[in-house]
Amino acid sequence: MPFETIRIEDEGPIRVIAVDRPKVLNALSTQVLREIDAAVAAVPGDARVVILTGAGEKAFVAGADIAEMQGKSADEARGFSALGHAVGKRLERLDQVTIAAVNGFALGGGLELAMSCDLIYAAEHARLGQPEVNLGIIPGFGGTQRLARLVGPQLAREMIFTARMIDAPTAKARGLVCDVFPKAELLSAVKKIALEIAAKGPLAIAAAKMLVRKGAALDLDDANRLETETFGELFRSRDALEGITAYLEKRKADFTAS
């Protein structure tokens, strides 16, 4: 389908989805959220990694579209929140690895979008925060939940209650982002990491992603049992046979996601 607010580029096993509204700092309107949702749903099976980023040099996504939110009824606001949650859920449950390349402001819905990805990398000039209480509202796309899981409840409360932005090095120190790169090198550095991931067994990557997500909500014994079951099931795959054989033969594995 044609998109008006996002841009898609494919580079081998990598698909890049860029929110393309730089004049409004890539703000998330209903249309943007629906287009991101559709783009993620349509990721082809031969794409191994999806990179999410923002167009322009100022913002990843500076937040939800406040102009659109003005005048919403309570029911309309719930619907907007539900749409944001649906996009986050689709990113989390995609078999492929998702990476947020935060190339500027990641605020409100923008940070929530980034936190729905498996990995977050940031440019050194990036600023991250949940400033919703400045507007008399709260994070509505999962921010109160994902932020606490990533940085811990106390630091999450501080960021949400004060609405302060933090810089990229602070975000790294708090465990919110994996690493920080110079502005001009961010996307190339993330693509290099994506290629490294893409070379691994795709079924194993998908299984590991599922286990980390599901295991977080389970008792440790139950989570470990799920891991054991999944470990065994992977041995039915051609990829497991190929990976082990390639290792013993001292050659590069040729994974086929089968």
Q: Verify whether residue 132 is a known catalytic residue.
A: yes
For residues 86 and 59, give the distance between their C-alpha atoms in angstroms, rounded to a whole number.
22
SS3 of 153, please? Answer: helix
The single residue of 9, 11, 68, 132 carrying the catalytic annotation is 132
Measured at the CA of 77, the angle between CA 75 and CA 79, to 5 degrees, comes to 70
Residue type, 33: L
11, 76, 112, 124: the catalytic one is 112
Name the token pair of 104.
């500027």
Residues 6 or more apart in contact with residue 220 via CB below 8 angstroms? none
Distance set, CA 214 to CA 82, 87, 207, 218, 223 (Å): 21, 18, 10, 7, 8
Residues 6+ apart with CB under 8 A from 146: 88, 112, 115, 116
Residue 234 has which token pair? Answer: 């992977």
Angle at the Cα of 234 (from 232 to 237), degrees rounded to 5?
130
Catalytic residue check, 227: no
The whole-angstrom separation of Cα 75 and Cα 71 is 11
Q: Which residues are catalytic?
A: 112, 132
